[in-house]
Amino acid sequence: MNDGPVLKSGFNGLTRAQPALPASWYIDPAHHDREMAQIWGRNWVYLCRAETLAGPRAFRTFDIAGQPVLIVRDAGDALKGFFNTCRHRGSILCTQAEGTLKKELITCPYHQWTYDLKGRLRATGPMRPVVGFERADHPLLPIAVAEWGGFVFVNLDPKAAAFETLYGAETTYVANWPLAEMRVGHTYSKSLNCNWKIFWENFNECLHCPNIHPELCDLVPIYGRAIMARRDDPDWQAHADDMAPHVSGGLRDGAETWSMDGAAQGTLPGLTEDDLVPGQRYVTVTPSCFFAHHRDHVRAVRITPTGPETMELSAEWLFHPDLLAQPGFDLARITDFGTLVMEQDGAACALNQAGLRARPFGHGVLMQEEYEVFLFQDWVRGRLGEPMRGQGAASRASRRAEHPNKA
């Protein structure tokens, strides 16, 4: 294998063809379990909007990579995260998907062990005191919780770096969007017949765009050239000052947002002209989600693996409450366009997954334009303790201003 640089220095691209991940990594149940433990169990995962946990004692339960998770607001309205598991013999504590606790206590429905909202064991039901047992030794097992812009994340790894440490630079890029004030106006969910990595690989390239996304290519002309950003063109420096959309990566002339006709319905408060010029800005929190920021809305997209060859794709469209209440506001004009693009991507991902079952197919090959696919796959390798071939996905933040991405 050539040991020279993998990434081009003058433009965004690979210096040479690279082998893709093994096909078995998209099919094999044992490898899927490995990814659930080492990737999904050790990285920040998006759960829900903070407003769905309204007020003290509100709780929600989730399954993250096969692990039972409980999120609850304490008396001070702070979010707390625990494994939804009693320390007695492992029973599930909260059996409902969501609700509000009657008291500031969590009581196991099996043997009535009771915990306060800080996770401390307060009572052991009808059990008699016994030598060798101390309540302080059996608190609920904590889970790290973070909130950014009204989005709630968890990390099952007790040694995980803080969300702000990992994503502070990424989120600063969209600091002017009033995310915490915004509310969900529409949701979408669909089961896809593909491995979760297939979806991310599709997200990270636009070679498929001219064939799969004609409407999107009309809205974002650079995608019609099968590239994602100005610097993806080896000759970009010759056109460095050209702001034409097919060169700069912006929306087509006259378009303002992602909608069926490109027209926006107002502008979110706080946005500057610099925020509006690209037409789209992205925040990506691998492996679970990305957030597409536009002039009049934000689309939050969540990826949830449900098996080696299946996943759930979910989306939430967020709007400012004033816009949602505005007479004549046309929700479908925005949501229909995003849904169309995701449906097209879902069909393409299923096609990709189905072909991986050919027995002689050991792995694919990544071409020059697929540098972000390479970086994503290298990130996966690193999280699994495999040798990495390049710089890893850390380069994404440094490219952000020139790389608005797509999905």
- The range of the structural domain enclosing residue 323 comes to 18-41+178-402
Residues 201 and 73 in one domain: no
360 in the same domain as 302? yes
Spatial distance between the Cα atoms of 102 and 390, rounded to a whole number of angstroms: 53
Is the full-model pTM beyond 0.85?
A: yes
What's the rounded mean pLDDT across residues 335-344?
98
Please compute the mean of the pLDDT values over residues 371-385 and round it to a whole number.
98
Token look-up 């879902």 returns 346
Same domain, 32 and 57: no
Residue 204 resides in a domain: yes
- Paired with 307 in beta bridges are 310
Query: What's the rounded Cα separation, in Å, for the pair 106 and 122?
Result: 10
Residues 270 and 382 in one domain: yes
Q: Tell me the per-residue pLDDT of 97-125, one tens digit each, with 9 for 90 and over.
A: 999 999 999 999 999 999 999 999 999 99
The tally of domains found in the chain comes to 2
Do 135 and 184 share a structural domain? no
User: In the predicted model, is pLDDT for residue 394 greater than 70?
Assistant: no
Q: Are residues 126 and 206 in the same domain?
A: no
Write down the mean pLDDT value for the chain: 95
- The answer to whether residue 13 is domain-embedded is no
Judge if 224 and 208 occupy the same domain: yes
Q: What is the CATH number of the domain that holds 79?
A: 2.102.10.10
Smallest CA-to-CA distance from 34 within 44, 24, 20 is with: 24
**Is 206 inside a domain boundary?**
yes
Q: Is 1 within a domain? A: no
pLDDT of residue 406 exceeding 50: no
Asked whether residue 2 is domain-assigned, the answer is no
315 domain residue, yes or no:
yes
Residue 267 shares a structural domain with residue 373: yes
* 269 vs 276: CA distance, rounded Å: 12
- The model's confidence at residue 175, banded by pLDDT at 50, 70 and 90, is very high
170 domain-assigned: no
Residue 398 has pLDDT above 50, yes or no: no
Average pLDDT estimate for 380-394: 80
